[in-house]
Structure 1
Amino acid sequence: QEKKRKQLLNAMALKFLDCVLKVKGKEFPCHRLVLAACSPYFRAMFLSDMEESKKREVSLEDVDPDVMGKILHYIYTSELEITEQNVQDIFSVANMFQIPSIFTVCVSFLQKRLCLSNCLAIFRLVDQGLPINLIIMYF
């Protein structure tokens, strides 16, 4: 019964896609409602008079396509594949899109692996625009 329900939901979700995020040549079909519900960044974009609020395609040039794929996977499934190689990029994009739940997952990942060799990398996040008080609060 549960499997059938998931299949129906997935089939319906594909029919109601209403925007495409274009990230450096890669396209991600999405739902504006889902993006707006999870991210104040997208909410503001879609509710404003910005060009993106009227177009089906939204270009995001400041994001790596692989990171965007991981962020979208998390938004739709609450599952996030974090590694030591991608955590800083995911952290930065979560900050850009203002998605605190991803921020929390990244902080937890970093806290568990905090050591002398990576502590400077954590403080480099401040250079990416993250508020220093948040960095200090968690570390």
Structure 2
Amino acid sequence: MSGGERSASDSKVETISRLAQWKIESFGPCTYRRSDAFKIGIWNWYLSVEKNRYVHIRLFPEPSRVSKEQPPVAKFVLRVSSPAPGRRPCISPVNEKLIRSSEDFAWAIDSNFLGRFTIDVEFLDLKIHPLDGGEACSIWPNEGMLQSLSSKSTLRCLSRMLEDGIHADVTIKTSDGVLKAHKAVLASSSPVFESMFLHDLKEKESSTIKIEDMSLDSCSALLGYIYGTIKQEDFWKHRLALLGAANKYDIADLKDCCEESLLADINSSNVLERLHEAWLYQLNELKKGCLMYLFDFGKIYDVRDEMNNFFRHADRELLLEVFQEVLTVWKP
């Protein structure tokens, strides 16, 4: 075979799953080789080998509309091996790069890799940026994606169960209306509900729960949270009622969520109310935030008119904490 000739098989890349393998039968000291295109993911790829001071191996996508508009972010490992006795394979570090052209990635190896050798490239992941912007995401299903899809499917099922009353087996009486729900779902979300249905209580016998300290809308928001279908605006609107329900029915994650939300928008018009709620439901972070807002940031002067009413109605223990905070701040 002459120097400029090579067999068709000498440029062919075999692929299986996410692994591509290029077997080079003959590579001289002053040679450039490029493989045939091979498909991994949604892109056609090339491997190339060139010899100057070192042997450089490049991996790059075929120029196309897809590779131009949505170039791949490839995470991969390269391995070069030779059948020569005593020759150890060269294995690259794990690379993760945005690859647009042959200039974006080159791996230099020992120039003694001449003659016959094999290049393996294993793609650990391939990511793509959405056309409308945003973070790159994998084109291959993974555990996180599977979990996400499974969660979405579960939420759709729960939403249908709640909205359509599919096999609903418990009635909830609110202050201004009636709702239908499922004992199993309620019991799994709250130890208080579980106890109602586990022991010989009136709720178990009648399959009815009275939640008359909540309106129909706020109780619907509570069920929306339990079933995973609550909308942000409904949570925001009913969060004080949800906080009370979370405390009453021992739904710890909802209680934490309400505290975090209430802490996020403290202002002069609500800080005293928030302080009262924090004391009532033992929300230490919210209480700390309210006291810091009032005293560390000096906003106590903005609520002087409201303080009289607060002092008349607040619990003695809470007032004692407020006075202790005053003494700490104003300590000479």
* Contact 2:171–2:209 (8 Å) recurs in 1: yes
Change (3 A) 1:47 1:41: same
The equivalent of 2:325 in structure 1 is: none
Unaligned runs of 5+ in 2: 1-149, 291-332
User: How far apart in 1 are the matches of 2:193 and 2:214?
Assistant: 14
* Contact 2:278–2:284 (8 Å) recurs in 1: no
Change (3 A) 1:35 1:134: farther
Structure 2 residue 239 is the aligned partner of structure 1 residue 79? no
Instruction: Indicate the SS of the match to 2:206.
Output: coil
How many percent identity over aligned positions?
23
**How many residues were matched structurally?**
135
User: How far apart in 2 are the matches of 1:38 and 1:4?
Assistant: 19
* AA in 1 matched with 2:269: S
Change (3 A) 1:4 1:79: closer
User: How far apart in 1 are the matches of 2:289 and 2:195?
Assistant: 28
User: How far apart in 2 are the matches of 1:38 and 1:15?
Assistant: 19
* AA in 1 matched with 2:194: R
Q: Whose strand proportion is higher, 1 or 2?
A: 2
Deviation of 1:109 (Å): 1.2
User: How far apart in 1 are the matches of 2:211 and 2:281?
Assistant: 20
CA-to-aligned-CA distance 1:32-80 (integer Å, 9 cap, x gap): 0100100112111111221111112222222222111100011112535
Structure 2 residue 123 is the aligned partner of structure 1 residue 123? no
User: How far apart in 1 are the matches of 2:255 and 2:153?
Assistant: 33
Q: Give the RMSD, CA atoms, in angstroms.
A: 3.1
Q: How does 1:1-139 map to 2 (within 5 A)?
A: 6=156, 10=160, 14-80=165-231, 81-83=234-236, 86-125=238-277, 129-131=280-282, 133=284, 135-136=286-287
| TM-score of the two chains, using structure 2 as the length reference | 0.36
* AA in 1 matched with 2:201: M
* AA in 2 matched with 1:33: A
Deviation of 1:116 (Å): 3.0
* Contact 1:46–1:52 (8 Å) recurs in 2: yes
Change (3 A) 1:133 1:78: same
Change (3 A) 1:77 1:45: same
User: How far apart in 1 are the matches of 2:153 and 2:186?
Assistant: 25
Deviation of 1:4 (Å): 9.0
User: How far apart in 1 are the matches of 2:204 and 2:289?
Assistant: 35
Deviation of 1:31 (Å): 0.6
Unaligned runs of 5+ in 1: none
Q: Whose helix proportion is higher, 1 or 2?
A: 1
User: How far apart in 2 are the matches of 1:126 and 1:96?
Assistant: 15
Deviation of 1:16 (Å): 2.1
* Contact 2:171–2:207 (8 Å) recurs in 1: yes
Please identify the structure whose Cα radius of gyration is greater. 2
Deviation of 1:121 (Å): 1.0
User: How far apart in 2 are the matches of 1:53 and 1:60?
Assistant: 15
